[in-house]
Amino acid sequence: MFYSCSARENRGSCSKHWTNIPEVDAHGYPTQTYLFRHQPLAGHLPDEFEQPSQAQSTRTGSNFRWPFCSSVTREESKPGDTPPPPSNPPNHHEHYKLGPVLGKGRTSRVYDARDIRSHKKVALKIVGGGDHALGVHYANEKRALMAVSSKYIIQLIEFSDSTFFLTCPAHILVLEHCPNGDLFCILEKCGALKEAYARMYARQIFEALEACHSQSIFHRDLKPENILVSEDWTLKLADFGYASFDSRSTSGSVCGTTGYMAPELFTNSLYSPAMCDVWSAAVITFILLTAKPPVRLATSDCSYFRKMKESDWRGFWAAHEREVEVSAGAKQFLQRLLSPVWRPSVHHALQLPWLSETVDPSQSELSSFMRNKIEMPISKDSCTGIGQSILDGHELHAAA
């Protein structure tokens, strides 16, 4: 059963992840409408899923496998053990037509879709059912998006806790559609942004975090790939699967992506999830300004981090400003937030002069600037290898 919701989320991704689909209508969607059938989730999944129907084979190919089957445990089940969806389910829905795959993650797959009731585009985030860890990710994301409301956080439209997708048990989140992909793709295309626009985006990220932290919601995996870009080029914080709902300092459940993780997460010491979010947001702000991360890893093995730890900011900036110059105000802001010892809260970060004492460009100016940047030919000099520089040394750490 789908439940309507007035809270927030989504997952649109770079167009390079999209897959062409045959037999589509004039809007680019498959001519077949797919059902999401409501049924209690099965306790296990078979090794091999039954062959998709002819309509599904047209869209996915006959060798389609549910992406989460390898992570599901079961007890001596055989192909076909999972009961098929009932022919007359208590509730069925023909509300959405599926389009291309927008993105794939460790815990989910996201499809472009269209609500046939309103003809509006949405994103369907499909999280595999029958696996406890995936269920936790789904529950975290749904809880976070229902609890917080901000124009800089993706909107949750509907959800289904107990559904079948292509004969497999699943959880589904119907999310706001963000046609301009994610921030990583934007940075990979554009390189460093002009300071006025980098500051505007940084403020949006911090305001999204302030809305979360005010409700004791802590993202814990903040990175450009988890920040989507809406039609008007506004940022939308997304992917709350690793979210925490406890503001107390803790020494357990370390998670995140290593290049964006705060130094305290590498020491097995007590850490504040709020302060870790601040560090990650500061790293993203640095990338917006320079197209490169401030450190490879926030450990003493990294020479940049050693300079930060020793307060050798002159040497730190001398190394980083070989290609892009950073203003004094931006430097002061980043030095406060990238402190290995103490950093301000999100609320206080928003009061610092670099964010609070300037006027942002208008929305129309932002849209015009971003469209022009995206349409420009890719320049190796302006891009400075951002795709590789951001990813070098960055690994995903699941909650442990």
Which residues make up each annotated binding site?
106, 125, 225-226, 239
Binding residues for ATP: 106, 125, 225-226, 239
Token code pair at residue 333: 């802001």
Maximum distance among all Cα pairs of the chain, rounded to whole angstroms: 70
- What is the C-alpha radius of gyration for the chain, rounded to an integer number of angstroms? 22
**Angle at the Cα of 173 from the Cα atoms of 15 and 81, rounded to 5 degrees:** 105
What letters, b where the CB count within 10 A reaches 16 and e where it falls short, cover 264-296?
A: bbbeeeebbbbbbbbbbbbbbbbbbbbbbbbbb
Measured distance CA(150)–CA(383) in Å, rounded: 31
**92: nearest Cα among 39, 156, 168, 169:** 39
Q: At what angle do helices 195-213 and 328-337 cross, to 10 degrees?
A: 30
Q: What is the DSSP-derived secondary structure letter of residue 302?
A: S
Q: At what angle do helices 183-190 and 363-375 cross, to 10 degrees?
A: 60
Residue 376: how many other CB atoms lie within 10 Å: 12
**Angle at the Cα of 140 from the Cα atoms of 135 and 146, rounded to 5 degrees:** 125
**277: nearest Cα among 309, 243, 302, 250:** 243
Q: Which residues pair with 115 in a beta bridge?
A: 96
Token code pair at residue 94: 């023909």
State the Cα torsion 253-229-175-103 to the nearest 10°: -70
State the Cα torsion 181-184-190-191 to the nearest 10°: 170
Active site residues: 221
Q: What is the DSSP-derived secondary structure letter of residue 267?
A: T
Measured distance CA(192)–CA(201) in Å, rounded: 12
Which one-letter amino acid corresponds to residue 13? S
